[in-house]
Structures are given as structure tokens and as C-alpha cells.
């Protein structure tokens, strides 16, 4: 997956979890939590969706990597590549 | 011959959810949506656990635990249930207090509480602001040593009237006291303060019916009248369960039964470490409740302008008095017709916190007498606000801690699970026995409709992770036990 595809996949998950938010305007370098109304249950949903859609397991200690969009991409892109190779 | 309530059930499931409280049902729904094969077993004839209601002749429908919940429930219903359920969440704006220290009305949110603390109690704005921002910043990993009493002492020293205003509703909401960790108070109180108190339009019966339909459409095999008697465990972890005498295989058992029942009865002490058991034995159960259900005659109305009334004749807030069988404090929930649009009916439910011991040892005669006393004194207390209540009442009934125990099987009829320490034990079960999970009211913060439902999701996430890891190894085999 390219960087843009990974970003698109994350946006897709976010739009499902927070349908009322304007995800178009997300600033990749600011905390998601400061731009959208996301609570700890929403982060849990992101983790569940990543497992469901991409078979990626994010351990609790790595949740901090999901704080910003650019953090998500940096953390997830290599994992998604690995899955692609494995398939 | 007794009916076979397991007729047509399969011999194996990915997971068996034991109990259909809001936590069990929400977990079952999330797991089914994630593609797992789920059996939901409930011993009672209805789903819902404490989220329940009953009907009586004369068109009465009486709700048990629909007094109110925080706004968060709307999002929880939207995300883990359906949009239609979320759309039925409506605000209760009319919350009243009446006690020897103060008599007031509030919308029970931060703005209004701030206003009342300033105008009525004479607290400085910066103290109030700091109090709110302090409790909102509490999070799970915070230092847990501070008690709610110390928190209040710090911000409102000696102001027992303010303590009562801030604490009494929370004591009713989850049985917590001034001696419980301030963290638990902060989380629950902030949840309410964010927008106020909300309810579900359509009533508990509508909600549970809709949940049942949703569970079925996601493929959950729902079985009522099904008592889970045993969770089978071997060296590799959970193997299956025994339901009404029949064995069913599963890799994961998710118990919505009480935490201590799950450990000591369903699994058995022999499967846990000594250290863990020692800690589990220190877990304190929360208190139970008494309620009086008052059905109003068709065509009559309750002429009192409130949704919730925290009423007390005790001179100050005192947990012992709140728990005492000699009742001085009651929460009255007024169910107006807008709760069930189209029915044009009223009911009032009075709730008090109560101790199991005070009711459990009574003989049949004394039990009946005390229940009747509870009903009569409740009607007396209510007639203070609704003077003609004895004229318009059509149906009255009371429940006690024994009633709650009978229907939910919770030890001592606990209404709100366990005290704070129970949460850690609940979370650690899978480390003791692979495939063993618990969800449902624990730790104060995970109780109430919102806490229980969200905890169902939190644990469903763990179960999903676990099932994916075992499924990638080997398929489930039928148990031989
Ligand atoms: C009087 C009262 C008033 C309340 N008011 C409110 C309120 O206004 N707002 C609010 O948010 N919360 C309220 N609550 C609290 C709220 O109802 C509970 O916290 C919540 O419903 C608990 O859900 P739970 O998932 O923990 O399970 P429970 O509701 O406790 O359900 C557990 C289920 O498991 C079943 N079960 C147990 N063992 C077995 C077994 N071995 N086999 C099969 N089934 C089994 C039981 O029958 C039950 O159905 C109130 C509680 C009480 C008692």
C-alpha cells in the first residue's frame, strides 16, 4: 500500500467511527483528538477495525503511535506491507 | 416433560456469552459482527439483566433501571447497536433535590451546577472551575489513593451541603461512597456533567426487543431459560460450558455473570493461582437496592413537575443512613407519558440503596410485613409531593435485595457489581485461564448502562484478539468432558 492508500484506509475507518466529523480537513501533524471528538472507546474501535480489515494487531503499548494521522501512517504502512508480502 | 431450551443448538461455538445484561449483549453483538459464532445463554426468560421491566394488569409497564444515564449512551448505541436506538435517547431536564439542607431544581450539567454552586452555595467560580477540570482530568492510570471524601475536603472543606449536592445522586447511580477512590467519582460524575441526564424513549421493553432483533440479525444464537452451570477448563484453557445439563464446546467463555460467581462457582478455585485467589477474595461486592413500583390508574396523571427527585429527610449526606432499612432517602423517578409516546400513562418508581443482610434472614411473614411497610412509607413520602397519590394509584409492588438476587443470580443481589478492586481481577482472568473472560458491572466505573455496555465492547475486543489467535492455529473440536 502506498502512503496515500494507507491514509485513505484510516480515513475510511474514522468516517465510520465518527460520522459527524469533517475528516477532509484533518491536519496530519496535529493530534486527532484535538481535531475530532474522539474518546478512548473510539480509539478501541480503530484498533478493532484494523484487526478486522487488515489483520493488524496494535498492542496497547503502541496506541500512542495512533495519536496523529502521520503517526498512524508511519506505524501502519510497514505492517500493511508485511501482510501484503505474506499473502 | 420439560421443554428443551437448547433444542437445535450447535455442539460448538467460537464463544459462549453467559448472561444477557447490557455488557453481555453488547459484547455478543460486537463479536457476532466481527464474524464469530456466538451463543448467548441467559437463565431468565427475558434478556436484559438489570436493564429490565415488568408488565402488570391494567396496562402497567414498570421500568427497573431506566432512571437515567449519561449522554455517552447515545454514541454507544449508535456504534455498537443501531442508529434507531441512538435516536431514541432523550434528555431529562427536570432533576430536583429536596432535603433539610436545600431544595432546588437543575438540568444536572456542568453549566447549571456551576451556576448553582456560585449562586446558591456561595462557592467562588475559580474553585468550581478547578474542581471540574481536576475531576475531568482523572484517568485510569492516576494515583488512586485519594478518596472522594479527600477530594471534597480539598475543594469544599466542611461544606457538607455541597458534598451532598455533588455526591447523593452518584451514590444512587452506582452505590459508591465518600470512601471510594476519587477517580471513580470523577469519571462517573464528569460523564453526567458533560450534557446532563438522558433516558430512552420507548422504554426498556422497546430497547431490549430492538437489541434482541439486532442480535438475531447478526447471527447470535440466543437462548433464554438456559442456566450456565459450569465453565470447563483444562490445562490449555477454556474447553466448553455446561448449560441445563448439556455440554457445548467453545474456545472462549465470556461471563456476564457476577465476577465472584464466575471465579468460584462457574470455573472453580482449583484453576487459579493462590495469589490471584487471595486478591479475588478481597473484592467487595457493591450494595443492593429496594424499589417500590407505583402504577397510576389509566386516565389519571401525576401532577408533579420533575423527572427525577432526590428526596431525603436525613439532616446530612450519610452512606449508612442511605443504606439503612429505616429509609430516610429515596430517589423518585417520574415516568411521564413521553417515555412511551402514545400510551398516555404515568408511573413512579422509588429506589433506595439497601443491604442484602437486612432482608435475607427474615422469615416469610416478617419479609411480607417489612415489604408492606416499605410500600406504605414510600407512598407517605411521595404524598408529600403528589398529595393525591393514594387516590390515583392502581398498582403497587416492592422489590428487595432478595428479588434482585433471584432474577440476576448476583450474590447478595448486588446492584452495581463490585467495588473498584474488582476491575483488576476481571481484567486479569484471561491471564489465569486462556479463553476465560468477564464483563459486566465491576469497579464502579464499569457499572450503569453506559459503563456495562462499554465494558462489553472493551472485553469483546480482547475476545476477538484471542479467538483470531487460536483460530489461526486449530479449529474448535467438540469437547469430551
Ligand atoms: C434498582 C436499580 C436501578 C438502576 N438504575 C440505573 C439507572 O438509572 N441508570 C443506569 O445507567 N444504571 C442503573 N442501574 C445499573 C444498571 O442497571 C446495571 O449496572 C447494568 O444494567 C448491569 O449490566 P450488566 O451487564 O453488568 O449485567 P446484569 O444486568 O447484572 O445482567 C447479568 C445477566 O446475567 C445472567 N446470568 C447470571 N448468571 C448466569 C448464568 N450462570 N447463566 C445464565 N445467565 C446468567 C443474569 O440473569 C442477568 O441477565 C440500576 C441498577 C439497579 C439494581
Question: How does DSSP classify residue B68?
Answer: -
Mean pLDDT for A7-28 is: 92
Residue of chain A minimizing CA distance to B140: A40
Q: pLDDT per residue over B117-159, tens digit each?
A: 999 999 999 999 999 999 988 876 666 789 999 999 999 999 9
B88 has a pLDDT exceeding 90: yes
CATH of the domain at A36: 1.10.1200.10
pLDDT value, residue B87: 98
User: Which residues partner with B311 through β-bridges?
Assistant: B98, B330
> Which element (helix H / strand E) includes B229?
strand B228-234
Spatial contact of B322 and B175, defined as CB atoms under 8 Å apart:
no
DSSP string, B7-24: TT--SEEEEEEE--SHHH
Domain hosting A34: range is 3-86
Distance of CA B135 to the CA centre of its chain: 22
Cell 447490557 appears where? B22
Please tell me the predicted confidence (pLDDT) of residue A84. 73
Assembly ipTM: 0.92
pLDDT of residue B417 exceeding 70: yes
- Best residue of B461, B469, B470 to probe chain A, by most A CBs closer than 10 Å: B461
Q: Whose CA is nearest to atom 3 of ligand 1?
A: B65
- B218 touches A at CB < 8 Å: no
Number of neighbours of residue B332 by Cβ within 10 angstroms? 26
Provide the chain B residues 452-481 that lie in CB contact (below 8 A) with chain A: 454, 457-458, 461, 464-465, 468
Cα B291 from Cα B293, distance rounded (Å) = 6
Query: Which of B11, B6, B17, B9 has its CA nearest to residue B464?
Result: B17
Radius of gyration of chain A (CA): 12
A17 interface with B at CB cutoff 8 Å: yes
Q: Which residue lies with its CA nearest to atom 2 of ligand 1?
A: B65
Residue B110 CA to residue B75 CA, distance in Å, equals 20
Say how many domains are in chain A.
Answer: 1
Read off the pLDDT of residues B365-387 as tens digits, 9 standing for 90 and up.
Answer: 999 999 999 999 999 999 999 99
Q: How confident is the model at residue A82 (pLDDT cuts 50, 70, 90)?
A: confident
**DSSP 8-state secondary structure symbol assigned to residue B297:** P
Neighbouring CB atoms inside 10 A of B271's CB total: 18
Of B34, B75, B458, the CB nearest to A52: B34
Is B286's C-beta closer than 6 angstroms to any atom of ligand 1?
no
Question: Which of B 49-108 lie inside 8 A of A, CB atoms?
Answer: 72, 75-76, 79
Query: Hey, what's the cell of A20?
Result: 459527524
How many angstroms is it from B51 CA to the middle of ligand 1?
A: 6
DSSP for residue B444: T
A41 CB within 8 Å of a chain B CB:
yes
Does the CB atom of residue B430 touch ligand 1 within 6 A?
no
Exposed e or buried b for every residue in B376-392, given b needs 16+ CB within 10 A?
A: eebbebbeebbeebeeb
State whether residue A23 is helix, strand or coil.
helix
pLDDT surpassing 50 at residue B480? no
Q: Specify whether the CB–CB gap between B16 and B244 falls below 8 A.
A: no
Q: Name the DSSP class of B248.
A: E
- Residue B210 Cβ contacting ligand 1 at under 6 Å: no
DSSP H or E run through B188: helix B182-195
B118 touches chain A (CB under 8 A): no
Q: Which residue has the cell 455533588?
A: B166
- Measure the CA angle with vertex A11, ends A61 and A74; round to 5°: 45
End-to-end CA distance of chain A: 13
pTM of the model: 0.96
Residues on chain A touching B454 (C-beta within 8 angstroms): 41
Please check the confidence at residue A87 and state whether its pLDDT lies above 70: no
In the predicted model, is pLDDT for residue B95 greater than 90? yes
Burial code of A19-52, b = ≥16 C-beta within 10 A, e = fewer? eebebeebeeeeebeebbebeebbbbbbbbbbbe
Answer yes or no: is pLDDT of A50 > 60: yes
3-state secondary structure of B390: helix
The three grid cell numbers given for residue B91, joined into one nine-digit string = 434528555
Torsion of CA B73, B78, B79, B82, to 10 degrees: 120
Residues B265-289 have pLDDT tens digits of: 999 999 999 999 999 999 999 999 9
What percent of chain B lies above the pLDDT cut of 90? 94
Distance CA B210, CA B32 (A): 16
Amino acid at each position: 500500500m502506498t502512503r496515500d492508500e494507507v491514509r485513505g484506509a484510516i480515513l475510511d475507518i474514522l468516517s465510520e467511527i465518527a460520522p459527524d466529523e469533517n475528516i477532509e480537513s484533518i491536519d496530519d501533524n496535529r493530534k486527532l483528538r484535538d481535531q475530532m471528538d474522539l474518546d478512548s472507546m473510539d480509539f478501541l474501535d480503530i484498533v478493532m477495525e484494523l484487526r478486522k480489515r487488515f489483520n493488524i494487531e496494535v498492542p496497547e503499548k503502541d496506541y500512542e503511535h495512533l495519536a496523529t494521522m502521520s503517526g498512524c501512517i508511519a506505524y501502519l504502512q510497514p505492517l500493511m506491507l508485511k501482510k501484503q508480502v505474506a499473502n | 416433560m420439560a421443554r428443551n431450551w437448547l433444542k437445535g443448538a450447535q455442539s460448538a461455538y467460537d464463544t459462549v456469552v453467559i448472561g444477557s445484561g447490557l455488557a453481555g449483549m453488547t459484547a455478543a453483538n460486537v463479536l457476532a459482527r466481527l464474524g464469530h459464532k456466538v451463543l448467548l445463554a441467559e437463565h431468565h426468560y427475558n434478556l436484559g439483566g438489570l436493564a429490565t421491566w415488568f408488565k402488570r394488569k391494567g396496562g402497567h409497564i414498570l421500568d427497573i433501571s431506566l432512571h437515567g444515564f449519561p449522554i455517552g449512551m447515545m454514541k454507544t448505541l449508535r456504534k455498537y447497536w443501531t442508529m434507531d436506538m441512538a435516536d431514541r435517547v432523550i434528555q431529562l431536564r427536570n432533576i430536583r433535590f429536596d432535603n433539610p439542607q436545600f431544595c432546588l431544581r437543575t438540568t444536572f450539567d456542568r453549566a447549571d451546577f456551576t451556576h448553582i454552586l456560585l449562586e446558591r452555595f456561595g462557592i467562588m467560580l475559580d474553585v468550581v472551575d478547578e474542581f471540574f477540570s481536576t475531576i475531568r482530568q482523572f484517568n485510569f492510570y492516576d494515583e488512586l489513593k485519594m478518596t472522594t471524601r479527600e477530594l471534597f475536603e480539598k475543594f469544599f472543606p466542611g461544606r457538607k451541603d455541597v458534598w451532598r449536592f455533588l455526591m447523593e445522586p452518584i451514590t444512587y447511580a452506582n452505590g459508591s461512597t465518600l470512601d471510594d477512590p476519587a477517580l471513580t467519582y470523577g469519571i462517573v460524575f464528569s460523564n453526567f456533567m458533560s450534557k446532563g441526564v438522558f433516558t430512552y424513549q420507548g422504554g426498556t421493553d422497546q430497547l431490549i426487543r430492538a437489541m434482541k432483533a439486532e442480535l438475531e440479525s447478526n447471527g447470535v444464537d440466543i437462548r433464554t431459560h438456559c442456566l450456565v452451570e459450569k465453565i470447563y477448563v483444562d490445562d490449555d484453557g477454556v474447553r466448553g460450558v455446561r448449560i441445563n445439563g448439556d455440554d457445548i464446546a467453545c474456545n472462549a467463555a465470556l461471563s456476564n455473570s457476577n465476577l465472584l460467581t464466575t471465579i468460584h462457582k462457574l470455573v472453580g478455585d482449583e484453576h487459579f493461582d493462590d495469589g490471584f485467589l487471595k486478591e479475588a477474595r478481597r473484592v467487595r461486592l457493591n450494595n443492593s437496592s429496594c424499589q417500590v413500583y407505583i402504577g397510576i390508574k389509566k386516565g389519571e396523571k401525576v401532577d408533579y413537575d420533575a423527572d427525577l427527585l432526590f428526596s431525603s429527610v436525613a439532616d446530612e449526606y450519610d452512606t449508612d443512613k442511605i443504606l439503612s432499612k429505616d429509609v430516610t432517602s429515596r430517589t423518585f423517578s417520574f415516568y411521564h407519558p413521553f417515555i412511551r409516546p402514545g400510551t398516555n400513562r404515568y408511573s413512579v418508581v422509588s429506589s433506595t440503596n439497601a443491604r442484602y443482610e437486612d432482608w435475607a434472614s427474615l422469615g416469610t411473614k416478617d419479609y411480607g410485613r417489612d415489604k408492606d411497610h416499605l410500600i406504605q412509607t414510600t407512598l407517605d413520602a411521595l404524598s408529600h409531593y403528589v398529595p393525591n397519590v393514594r387516590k390515583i394509584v392502581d398498582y403497587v409492588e416492592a422489590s428487595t435485595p432478595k428479588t434482585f438476587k433471584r432474577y440476576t443470580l448476583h450474590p447478595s443481589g448486588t446492584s452495581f457489581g463490585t467495588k473498584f478492586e474488582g476491575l483488576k481481577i476481571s481484567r486479569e482472568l484471561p491471564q489465569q485461564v486462556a479463553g476465560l473472560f468477564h464483563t459486566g458491572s465491576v469497579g464502579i466505573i464499569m457499572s450503569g448502562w453506559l459503563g456495562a455496555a462499554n465494558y462489553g465492547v472493551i472485553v469483546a475486543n480482547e475476545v476477538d484478539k484471542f479467538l483470531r489467535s487460536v483460530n489461526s492455529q486449530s479449529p474448535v473440536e467438540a469437547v469430551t468432558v
